Structure formats: structure tokens, C-alpha cells
Amino acid sequence: MENSQTEISALGEFGLIDRITKGLELKHSSSVLGVGDDAAKLNYGGTDVLVTTDMLLEGVHFDLTYVPLKHLGYKAAVVNFSDIYAMNGIPRQITVSLGISRRFTVEHIDALYSGIKLACEIYGVDIVGGDTCSSRQGLVISITCVGEGKSGKVVTRSGAKDTDLVCVSGDFGAAYMGLQLLEREKVASAGQKDFVPKFEGKEYLVERQLKPEARRDIVEMLDAQGIVPTSMIDVSDGLSSELMHICKASDVGCRIYEDRIPIDYQTAVMSEELGMNLVTAALNGGEDYELLFTVPLTEHEKVSKIPGVKVIGYITGSGLGCALITRDGSELPLRAQGWNPLKDE
């Protein structure tokens, strides 16, 4: 290795992305919004076309010891749809590229693909292309999703304004707890024949980890209420980290209330069992695939009517930073300790 080389872990995922995308210019008129949001925004024939892509690598993003291939396919597709919904768009097409190592059989790939197809059927998305090749290095899945935005209604991360309400769908931390549970049972099962994992009373956690859904329903209900969020993002890396993305992109601060963060009962039980801080898990767990968005204060009544949506705080001016207001009323600065595989390595 040459001299003066920098370890990637020194920068982390976001640092590396910042570095390689620095100075990128959009030169063609059909490129409206590039790197830095949940999806790129293009414009073809006057229509907003959204493009997002996700790569999943065996041993980094999934462990086939406990992830069924059909679920993996389903999740790989859904996480892309989630990025399109986060732009207030509708996913329309995907391409699927697979790198397949020798230990996989045709039947394995059938199972993986059946999950991808099921997700596409449920969300009304067409599979229009892809690439298939052999891999020396386990299973590689790269999916790109093309979506459509309604004219003038595409929502980015950068429109949050002082006094806007911070809203979320669903609940947080369950997928992370599901991962802890699956890892625990994997360890417990080591070397045992006929091992039966203990998932009773924790089915929701397992489902949130293995078979997440994208919040199409929320995007549809917002539209039905005539609400266009001022900013939106999907929660893949953890609520705290995503909130900071919105605040940075919008040049604002925020305050969210600890006691308003929606957390499922099973998540709380599991966190108790593991001796983990529940709020930390909910703020930083990641893989929730819920929507985090802001709306003007004037939409309070309308947004409160949407089932599954909760107002958890508000946007402030930019100088005030991002903070959590705890149950006892004190302010803790939010930290982005979201899931960061390049730093964890």
C-alpha cells in the first residue's frame, strides 16, 4: 500500500460519501436533485422521476443463519420503496442485480426472488431489469427503484421551517430489538440439534426486523388530507440520525420529547430483558422504515387525524441545535450514532 493512505474508518460512511460527492455538478437539465436525499429527482417530459438505490451484502447487512431468503428479497425491495415514499413519491419500477456464490442453488434464488416479486405485487411495482452474475463473496443484492412524483409535491429533506411540527409514523426500536433477539437465539442454537428459538410474545420484533413494510399508507393519507410535508425522510439509520439529516439539510434545529416517541410494548420488554436503555434504542436502533416528516403548525389538526402518526416535537431556528427533552424537562443534545457499517468495521 502506498504512503499517506487514509483508512476509510477514519471518515465513516457519511464522511466518505461527502468526500467523493463533493463538487459534483448536475449538468443536464433533466437532473433536478442529485446526491443527498432519499432519492434523486429527475425530470422527464415534465414529470418528476425519482431514483434510489440500495446495496445489501451478506455478512454486513444480513445473516442467512436466521434470515429466510424470501424475507430477504421482500425486505431488499421494500427498503427501496421506502426511499421513494420518503420523497412523497410512488415507486413504479425496480431493477434487481444479484451476485451469487457457489453455495446457492437455483431453488435458493427462486426463494429470494419470490420475496422480491411478492413485495412488487403488494406495492404495485414492476421488475424491469437487472444483472445476474457469479460472486466469490457470498450473496450481493443491489436494487434500484424508479418512482414518480406528483407535480410540485415531491418532498425533500431541506424544507423544514422554524415552528414546523415534527411527526413520525409507527413506532421505533422494534427492528433493532428484533435483531438483538435473533442474534441471541443464534448464539443459543449453536451446536444444538432441533433447537427451537424462543420468540413467544416477541413476534412483532422479529417481524419488524425480517419483514418491514414501507409506509405507502401514510403517504396516501397525507395526500387525502391535502398535506404536503415541508420535509420528509425514512428512518433507516435511526430516528436521531435522520432528524439531524433533516435539520442539517434545512438549516434548522429541533426539540423532540422523550415521552412522545412511540415505542411498542414488546420493544420495552425486550430492552428491559437486555438491560438496554429503551430511549437510546428507539432513537438509534435503525431499520424502522417509518416516515419522519415536518408539517406547518397550521396542519396540526389535520395531521393529528391520521392514524399511526404522532407529533413528537417541533422545529426551531438554526442556532438552537437538535435536542431531546427528557421526562424531567432537561435538554439532551441529540447524537447521530446511527448504524454506520463503515465506521463499525
Interaction with a copy of itself in 6-65: which residues (CB under 8 A)?
6-8, 10-11, 13, 16-17, 19-21, 24-28, 30-31, 33-35, 39-40, 42, 44-47, 49, 51-55, 57-61
Q: How far is the CB of 180 from a copy of itself (least distance, A)?
A: 21
Cell of 303: 395531521
Give the one residue of 82, 144, 180, 271 binding a copy of itself; rule: CB under 8 A. 144
The β-bridge partners of 256 are: 313, 324
Q: Which of residues 177-216 bind a copy of itself (CB under 8 A)?
A: none
Q: Is 152 in the site for a copy of itself (CB under 8 A)?
A: no
Q: How far is the CB of 117 from a copy of itself (least distance, A)?
A: 8
The β-bridge partners of 97 are: 131, 142
The answer to whether 50 and 84 have CB atoms below 8 angstroms apart is yes
Cell of 202: 416477541
Give the one residue of 67, 118, 142, 158 binding a copy of itself; rule: CB under 8 A. 142
Q: How far is the CB of 131 from a copy of itself (least distance, A)?
A: 5
Return d(Cα 92, Cα 108) in angstroms, integer.
26
Phi, psi of 248 (to 5 degrees): -65, -45
Q: Which of residues 66-105 bind a copy of itself (CB under 8 A)?
A: 92-93, 95, 97-100, 102-105
Q: How far is the CB of 109 from a copy of itself (least distance, A)?
A: 6
**Cβ proximity to a copy of itself, 114 vs 225, nearer residue:** 114
Return d(Cα 264, Cα 208) in angstroms, integer.
11
**Cβ proximity to a copy of itself, 61 vs 202, nearer residue:** 61
**Cβ proximity to a copy of itself, 47 vs 163, nearer residue:** 47
Q: How far is the CB of 303 from a copy of itself (least distance, A)?
A: 29
Query: How many other β-carbons are positioned within 10 Å of the β-carbon of residue 176?
Result: 26
Kindly tell me the burial class for residue 315, based on how many C-beta atoms sit within 10 Å of its own C-beta (0-12, 13-18, 19 or more): buried
Q: How far is the CB of 20 from a copy of itself (least distance, A)?
A: 5
Cell of 43: 425530470
| Cβ-based neighbours of 45, under 8 Å, separated by 6 or more | none
Q: How far is the CB of 161 from a copy of itself (least distance, A)?
A: 25
Return d(Cα 129, Cα 113) in angstroms, integer.
13
The answer to whether 345 and 9 have CB atoms below 8 angstroms apart is yes
The binding track of 99-138 with respect to a copy of itself, each residue x by CB under 8 A or -, is: xx-xxxxxxxxx--x---x------xxxxxxxxxxxxxxx
| Cβ-based neighbours of 144, under 8 Å, separated by 6 or more | 51, 52, 53, 80, 94, 95
Query: How many other β-carbons are positioned within 10 Å of the β-carbon of residue 329?
Result: 8
**Cβ proximity to a copy of itself, 24 vs 332, nearer residue:** 24
**Cβ proximity to a copy of itself, 31 vs 304, nearer residue:** 31
**Cβ proximity to a copy of itself, 149 vs 253, nearer residue:** 149
Total number of residues that touch a copy of itself (CB under 8 A) = 85
The β-bridge partners of 127 are: 94
